[in-house]
Structure 1
Amino acid sequence: MSEQILFLLLLYFDCFRMLCCKGPPPPRTEYDVVCIGLTGSGKTSLLSKLCSEATDNIVPTTGFSIKAVPFQNAILNVKELGGADTIKKYWSRYYQGSQGVVFVLDSASSDEDLEVARTELHSALQHPQLCTLPFLILANHQDKPAARSVQEIKKYFELEPLARGKSWILEGSSVDNMDAVKESFSQLIHLLEEKDQEAGRI
């Protein structure tokens, strides 16, 4: 067998091995995240859109639901808790095992509902099982005329003094701009990865 034929055979074998014997891609890291917010804040619609599900017949979540939301470098197992008054008081029963928190608020809601959301967020930020976790706070319904800006929400919710020293992100959101929502969740994943690395260094 000539050297040229041998070279071609080896080249063909290497190409075949690269194409066919690559093996499965490495598994994506999974994180367990709890998603809370009042009824009507838009939690279910945002999560359904992230999962490419239909949003035509969205109804308020009763109890809780779990969705595996895929991203390029991670999968978020999101436990969404219903926001009705009858369910809200039991939220803390579902916090155990969470590695991150998504809090969704309706930035176009009434002053009364916004005050309730503020109280619930303050409670979550200080809860023993959540206070050390990364938070993604979404000021949702930014597409509505009555929506308050992210800066207004930040000031009204007193996030700077209350959440100082914690890992948190506040972003505007709406189902009409899912690219921005995905970017916000990517920022949360980055915080989760940082927390993992810190834990590994201890």
Structure 2
Amino acid sequence: MDYLCFRALCCKGPPPPRPEYDVVCIGLTGAGKTSLLSRLCSEGSDGIVPTTGFSIKAVPFPNAILNVKELGGADHIKKYWSRYYQGSQGVVFVLDSASSDEDLEAARNELHSALQHPQLCTLPFLILANHQDKPAARAPNQVKKYFELEPLARGKRWILEGSAADNLVAVKESFTQFIGLLEDKDTEPARI
């Protein structure tokens, strides 16, 4: 009996590896992409500067690892975004929900472009309305209406959630839902 208990406890072998997904993260400069990803990786938030070019982070979750390719959001970089889309299995789009109307319109145009891009249009999207902790933040439902997501994203797999860098629990939950979309290719479209 002792041998069977020992064997059951000690000889199972390593746990199966977590699946890995390659994800592209886009959004305008100042949307909070780098801050959110740094917090998810348990990195310090001191001295965070906007990404110039791109960075890659392996973001661990209990059920998967996301290899996130974050692309800088400056105007001179956005025109090269599509060169980094190949091989992506999902898209994280971060927008500043407390931004000016002009910046929100620019974010809307970039999201529409991404949703219609041939390399991204069939992939799951996680749309984060970031900076929900700021007084001028628009609620996710306001963003959904302003961005006209219902007609544009019809038939696509997407999630729209509010986020803030200081509410890591909610951000992790959003990513957990997103991983669910990545895992299940047959998920029903459009969940909010």
Shared fold, TM over 0.5: yes
Letter in 2 for 1:126: Q
> Any residues of structure 2 matched to 1:98-117 within 5 Å, and which?
98-117=88-107
What is the CA–CA distance in structure 2 between the aligned matches of 1:31 and 1:196, rounded to whole Å?
A: 16
Matched residue type, 2:67: N
Distance 1:140 1:133 in 2: 21
What are the equivalent positions in structure 2 for 1:1-202 lying under 5 Å apart?
A: 11-195=1-185
After superposing the two structures, state which structure 1 stretch, 14-23 or 158-167, moved more.
Answer: 14-23
- Give unmatched runs, 5+ long, in structure 1: 1-10, 198-202
What is the alpha-carbon distance in structure 1 between the residues aligned to residue 113 and residue 127 of structure 2?
A: 14
Report SS of the residue matched to 2:141.
Answer: helix
Per-residue displacement from partner, 1:145-188 (whole Å, max 9, x unpaired)? 01011111000000001001100000000011111111100111
* SS class of match (2:185): helix
Secondary structure at 1:15's aligned position in 2? helix
| Alpha-carbon displacement from aligned partner over 1:43-90 (angstroms, at most 9, x marks no partner) | 000001001110111000011000111111111000000000110110
Distance in 2, Cα, partners of 1:157 & 1:19: 53
Whichever of the two has the greater Rg, that structure is 1
- TM-score, reference length from structure 1: 0.91
2:190 corresponds in structure 1 to none
Distance, in Å, in 2 between the alignment partners of 1:196 and 1:53 is 34
The C-alpha deviation readout for 1:77-133, integer Å capped at 9, x for no partner, is 000000001101100000000000000000000111000000000000000000000
Per the alignment, do residues 72 and 163 of structure 1 end up closer, same or farther by CA in structure 2, a change over 3 Å counting? same
Which TM-score applies when normalising by structure 2?
0.96
Letter in 1 for 2:175: F
Q: How many residues align?
A: 188
Residues 54 and 196 (structure 1 numbering): CA distance in 2 closer, same or farther, change over 3 Å? farther
Q: How many percent identity over aligned positions? A: 84
Aligned alpha-carbon RMSD (Å):
1.3
In 2, Cα distance between equivalents of 1:98 and 1:196:
18
